[in-house]
Amino acid sequence: MNEQQPPNFAHDLLNRFIRPEFLEPTLGDLEERFEEDITQYGLGKAKRKYIKNAIGFMRPGLMKKIGGTQKLNAFGMLKHHIKLSFRSFKRFKTSFAINLIGLSSGLACTLLIYLWVSDEWNMDKFHAHEDYLYQVKQNINIIDKIETIDPTPAYLGQALLEEFASVERMTSVVPIGSYGSDGVIERGEKQFKALEQYATSDYFEVFSFPLKIGDKSIVLESKENIVISQSLSDNLFGEGVDPRGESINWLSEGETYTYLVSGVFEPLPGNTSEYFDVVFHLETFLDRYPHIRDWGNSDPSTYIVLSEDASPADFHAQIKDFLLTKKEDYPHTLLLQKYSDTYLYGKYQNGLPLPGRMQYVRLFAFIAGLVLIIACINFMNLSTARASRRLKEIGVKKAMGVSRNALVVQFFTETFLLTFISIVLAFLLVSGVLTPFNHLVGKELVLDLNYELLTFSFAILIGTTILSGSYPA
């Protein structure tokens, strides 16, 4: 089987539900986009985008029509069940209100936790090379333990790029705040504090921080260049102005340096663990601290992009003792970690990764599931207690020949409608408390009705309906 083919699940879904006259052009568009996504994002992300795009084509205008008297009768029965459900809500107002408040508050808690967990889980996963982007770290033997550190020799990345065919791109980056406090950007009488980043020329090709102005392949080609944020550009030069070629001063540690603006990057995504305002060429940092050039010293972090056919485990084994080829009797060894895993698994003990923040993600995901289950159990208890008041209604229906399955469908319809209303109310509750919640957790979470959130909400709708409605039915 060719791994470059689109997922069979999505392909069969379209064959089953899309009308024949739209099927061929739809598949053609999806496969063309799939090939472009493979080139841009890699095979794994391209398959996920193909499934997402295929589901997006499941629209009423493109889908096959439902036909047959039996289908029409079923649709008529569904309308009847919906009408009965609303009559039941109106008849038992108190029970409906208690169920609605209990279920919606539980769903709101679950939704808030989901937003936090989703933000943690997706941290640093927006980069185009995310599947193949790795950070090279060092293991240092200290007496009877191993300490893992991020800093590496300044020219390690360049050496790996030149000596290993598996490495397609690399960049070396000096972590923010490594040497003293943040500097100040100055132009004329305007001064602003800024977080600086020092990186090699491939920085904006390895990481997908979008540039608003400038070419990512050349913005850091010279030591005199500086790339600034959009907010700094607007404050220094005015909105809508192209500042390329303009000079600005950098004030740091009592010294003043002059640079030429070569590019402007857009506001950083909310799910990035890196925050900075300006980017300089790495060589400007090494000129100030020339001792860092020596292979025995470490300061920059090294990031590489492996080729699609490379095995990270094999490459890890190949570079483990690579530093010995550059400096004899050097006791440090190298290890490889996927960049998007660094945020959740950034801590090590004796050379082995620890769960880090991932343990909190798992804990809160468990809590969200527990809250949802408790809300469903409360709903079942209230629904069961209310069912005793409907024995007469159910008895009359059975006497008139209504089947057991029809009664089960009625109960599930009521549960579905109540759950749907609860989810809508939960969204309103979350939107109302999201600002104080962001202050509490220190994030900038947004209730954006994207594909992932709608899928999660739909899964909750179906799961809660089945779980809450099964026992009363």
Structure tokens belonging to residue 359: 């343990």
**Distance between alpha carbon 116 and the CA centroid of its chain, in Å?**
11
pLDDT of residue 28: 77
pLDDT at 103: 86
Query: Can you give the pLDDT at residue 261?
Result: 95
- Give the pLDDT score at 414: 79
For the chain (length 473 residues), average pLDDT per consecutive 10?
A: 69 76 77 81 80 75 56 57 71 79 90 92 91 92 84 93 94 78 85 92 93 92 94 92 93 88 92 90 91 87 93 92 85 89 84 82 92 84 68 69 71 82 91 91 84 84 77 65
Going by their DSSP bridges, the two strands 255-265 and 225-229 should be labelled as parallel
Give pLDDT, residue 72: 42
Rounded-to-integer distance, Cα 54 and Cα 6, Å: 10
End-to-end CA gap in the chain: 45
| The predicted structure's pLDDT at residue 385 | 67
Cβ atoms of residues 15 and 55 within 8 Å:
no
Which amino acid type is present at position 213? I
